[in-house]
Amino acid sequence: MSAYAEWFELSENKGRCGLGINMGFVGWNTRYGDFGWGPSINVNGVYLDFLKGGPTHEHYKGQQVEKNLFNDSTVVLANVGYQLPIFPWLRVMPLVGYCQTDAGVTDVSKTYDEHFAYAVHHYHPYNVTPGTRRHHINIGAGIFVQPAEWLEVYAVGSFHALYGGISINLAAFAEHRK
């Protein structure tokens, strides 16, 4: 009986503050899915993430093609959830979010330069084809495993994404460094 006492002990989330990075397939079960990546944040059990994929040819550096145009697509996903502690090292999380997909064309005959701090970022313009943008509600769940006091690895599955990530619990990391 006492083994079950710590299940869903929400006070385990107090003081947790984590930052992470996600990678995986975004736009699952849609017409324009793609590989995506993005950041995540977890504060006191509340989890937020954002992933973006495409356009695939935005940074194309190959030979010029006949018409200088590539059919491309983009996908954007944002989720919010709450971690439910099963054990101090294991959490599950229901989540809900938003997924947007669209199709378009990347024109590799034009290149734009953006200057970021000490680097120049080159990219080709991408234009959305009118009428291809789709909006989707995303529902799913995640599982978080904490192999070290300050480190979490996780996997998330939902109607429109399959991805994983790694996160550092900044509060525990700061305590660990003392």
Q: What are the pLDDT digits (tens) for 37-64? A: 999 999 998 999 999 998 988 777 776 6
The architecture of the domain spanning 2-177 is Beta Barrel (2.40)
pLDDT of residue 60: 78
Query: How many Å apart are CA 74 and CA 27, to the nearest integer?
Result: 9
Both tokens of 58, joined, read: 């935005």
Extended strands (E) in the chain: 17-26, 34-43, 46-53, 69-82, 84-87, 90-107, 112-116, 119-123, 126-128, 134-148, 151-158, 161-169
In this predicted model, what pLDDT tens digit does every residue of 80-136 receive, in sequence order?
Answer: 999 999 988 999 999 999 999 999 998 888 887 777 767 777 778 888 999 999 999
Both tokens of 42, joined, read: 């977890």
Q: How confident is the model at residue 7 (pLDDT cuts 50, 70, 90)?
A: low
Tell me which of 131 and 174 has the higher pLDDT. 131
Tell me the one-letter amino acid at 18: G
pLDDT of residue 2: 47
**pLDDT, mean of residues 144-162:** 94
Least confident of 22-36, 47-61, 80-94, 139-153: 47-61
In this predicted model, what pLDDT tens digit does every residue of 60-77 receive, in sequence order?
Answer: 777 666 678 888 999 999
Query: How many Å apart are CA 177 and CA 168, to the nearest integer?
Result: 13
Task: Provide the percentage of residues in the chain whose pLDDT is more than 70.
Answer: 87
**Among 53, 79, 56, 76, which residue's Cα sits nearest to residue 154?**
79
Q: Check whether 4 has a pLDDT greater than 70.
A: no
Whose tokens are 């010029």? That residue is: 64
pLDDT of residue 109: 81
Q: Check whether 168 has a pLDDT greater than 80.
A: yes
- Against a cut of 0.75, is the pTM above it? yes
Query: How many Å apart are CA 85 and CA 139, to the nearest integer?
Result: 20
pLDDT of residue 88: 85
Burial class (CB in 10 A: 0-12, 13-18, 19+), 5: exposed
Q: Check whether 6 has a pLDDT greater than 60.
A: no
**Among 27, 144, 33, 54, which residue's Cα sits nearest to residue 93?**
144
Query: How many Å apart are CA 174 and CA 17, to the nearest integer?
Result: 11
